[in-house]
Amino acid sequence: MLNPKVTAVVGVSTTNPFSPGNVIFRKLAFENALPTYPINPKGGAVEGIKVYKSITEAPDDIELAVISVPAKYVPGVLTECGEKGIKSVIVVSGGFSEIGETGASLQSEIVEIANQYKMSMVGPNCIGVYVPDVLDTFFLPSERVARPRKGRVAIISQSGGWLVERLEEFASRQVGIAAAVSIGNAAQTEVTDFIRHFGNDSNVDVILAYIEGFANDEGRKFIEICDKIVPKKPVIVLKGGESEAGHRATQSHTSSLAGDRAVTNAAFRQYGVIHAIDEDEVMAYSKVFSFRPKAMLGPRIGTMTVSGGHGVIASDEAAHYGLTMPFFSDDQQAEMRDVMTPAYQGIASFRNPCDLTGSASDIDYERVLDKMLGFDSIDAALLLLLPYAPGISLQIGARVANVSKNHNKTVVAYVPDLEKYEVIIRGFELNGIPVGDTIEEAVQMLNGIRQRSKYLQRIGKA
């Protein structure tokens, strides 16, 4: 399903080039350059390519079929796919369990057909699968949706709209993905199936899931598979339907059971699942783990800044997450002060946060960070960088990153997300230091690292 050599689209139109089936067909055939057979009972041609009247009439080498026809026709099409030996199917059509009892009955029927023929079926009521440079079954025109570069984050979502927004954000933040899967109603293949798959995929470093709820007994299966996968790589979950209003909304969206929030939270904590409370945390955790950060074996952060106000904001945010910024001892402060540029030693503060002032230069950041990372009293470093300072150059990201490579502690930076500082951001990130575009995001990154490190310590894997 994630790497087909030949595909088919059932439900193309010979009269409406903007129908979902036609959009999907053009993407597969022209953008992904996959041999793709268009299917419509009327036959004819689409984009100069022969339209087959049924899957049965199409050639026998199809590995993935995308079905975009009214719900009532889906069972018949699935049966044809099964008879033809097709093993993976994406049903983008809606009109199943999300609309009530009648649709639920129809959904049960297509699950039985898929199981009978041993087909893997994603959907229904989904937008399908996106794999950079390989596959795109989304029925949204490419020019309207950004696509992230190839990377190492796998995304699984019960909501197609939420997934599309995340792809936009990932693309704008230069975070690459390995694959993105919209599972919709998850009638047959469930979130657990994809977590298992991506958990064993060496091309994936972190798994992100948006879940509105679980079908009967699926919550238990989810935790059981996470118990096996989480020690190997992070699993991040944004859970929808946690309020009463949200619970009701899930019923009309994917017909999922939202579940009890307290039970869900306790299970996530016990099994090391990182529970994002909002989309800001989703981005922070996804990005930081795509860098394979070093462990953070305690909650203590050493912070450097050129603005006292930024240090205050970071301190407040850290306290919210149970992270601390312990004061450095007099001896530690003296060690850091001694390596500062002599002219600025008297005006800098080294208590923690360390305010190097707007006079600080690249070399001050390098030397003070080198000293700070050597102290046993901190577990990680947070760099609050305002490149407005005249002594800061565009090379500071790469220079500071090289210092961090000499220490076994994780370092996270904040740099304003402005185009003129792109070189600085890339200098950090190409050398292994993730950058938050807000102070809050940088602290959230550290919180994610700390959560995972605590879990790995608890199970003896740190």
> What is the percent of the chain with per-residue pLDDT over 70, rounded to a whole number?
96
Question: What pLDDT score does 261 carry?
Answer: 75
Least confident of 114-118, 134-138, 153-157, 260-264: 260-264
Q: Is 399 helix (H, G, I), strand (E, B) or coil?
A: helix
More confident of the two residues 256 and 330: 330
Residues in a beta bridge with 150 = 177
Q: How many helices (H) and strands (E) does the chain have?
A: 15, 19
Among the ranges given (71-75, 295-299, 365-369, 389-393), the one the predictor scored with the smallest mean pLDDT: 389-393
Res. 196: pLDDT tops 60? yes
What is the predicted pLDDT for the residue at 257?
Answer: 46
Give the Cα separation of 56 and 163 in Å (integer). 33
**Does 246 have pLDDT greater than 90?**
no
Rg value, the chain, Cα: 25
Q: Is the pLDDT of residue 216 over 90?
A: no
pLDDT above 80 (res 253): no
- In contact, 119 and 81? CB cutoff 8 Å: yes
Asked if 353 contacts 292 with a C-beta cutoff of 8 angstroms, the reply is no
Task: Give 176's Cβ-side CA count (13 Å radius).
Answer: 14
What pLDDT shows up at residue 265? 86
DSSP 331-359: HHHHHHHHHS-GGGTTT-B-SSSEE--TT
Tell which CATH classification among 1.10.579.10, 3.40.50.720, 2.70.180.20, 3.40.50.261 matches the domain 301-458.
3.40.50.261
User: What is the average per-residue pLDDT within 208-225?
Assistant: 90
Query: Which H or E element spans position 211?
Result: strand 206-211
If pLDDT is split at 50, 70 and 90, which confidence band does 251 have?
A: very low
- Given a cut of 90, is residue 143 above it in pLDDT? no
pLDDT per residue as tens digits for the range 411-432: 999 999 899 999 999 999 999 9
CATH code for the part of the protein at 146-290: 3.40.50.261
CATH class belonging to 1-125: alpha beta
Query: The tokens of 112 are what?
Result: 């039985």
Q: Is the pLDDT of residue 109 over 50?
A: yes
More confident residue, 389 or 272: 272
How much is the pLDDT for 59?
Answer: 97
- Is pLDDT at 135 greater than 80 in this prediction? yes
Pairwise CA distance, residues 424 & 390, whole Å = 14
Token pair belonging to 158:
């019960």
Outline which parts of the chain fall under CATH 3.40.50.720. Answer: 1-125
The angle that helices 261-270 and 218-229 make with each other, rounded to 10 degrees, is 20
At residue 241 the predicted structure's pLDDT band, cuts being 50, 70 and 90, is low
DSSP track, 355-372: E--TT--HHHHHHHHHHH
pLDDT, position 259: 57
User: CA separation (Å) from 157 to 77, 134, 212, 345, 446?
Assistant: 25, 19, 9, 52, 25
Residue 38 pLDDT greater than 70, yes or no: yes
Taking the model in full, what pTM does it have? 0.93
Beta partners for residue 412, in sequence order: 382
How far apart, in whole angstroms, are the C-alpha atoms of residue 461 and residue 450? Answer: 14
Cα distances (angstroms) measured from residue 50 to each of 12, 25, 53: 11, 12, 10
143-147 mean pLDDT: 85
| Adjacent-strand bridge partners of 198 | none
End-to-end CA distance of the chain: 35
Looking only at the bridges linking them, the beta strands covering 45-46 and 49-50 are antiparallel
At residue 3, the pLDDT reads 97
DSSP 28: I
- What residue spans in the chain does CATH classification 3.40.50.261 cover? 146-290, 301-458
Q: Is the pLDDT of residue 92 over 60?
A: yes
Mean pLDDT, range 112-123, rounded to an integer: 98
Angle between helices 279-289 and 160-172 (to 10 degrees): 50
For 182, the 3-state DSSP assignment is strand
Mean pLDDT of the chain: 93
d(CA 345, CA 29): 64
Q: Are 230 and 188 in contact (CB under 8 A)?
A: no
Cβ–Cβ under 8 Å, residues 130 and 66: no
- pLDDT at 172 > cutoff 60: yes
Is it the case that residue 245 has pLDDT exceeding 50? Answer: no
In this structure, of 164-168, 201-205, 248-252, the range with the lowest mean pLDDT score is 248-252
Q: What mean pLDDT comes out for the span 257-271?
A: 79
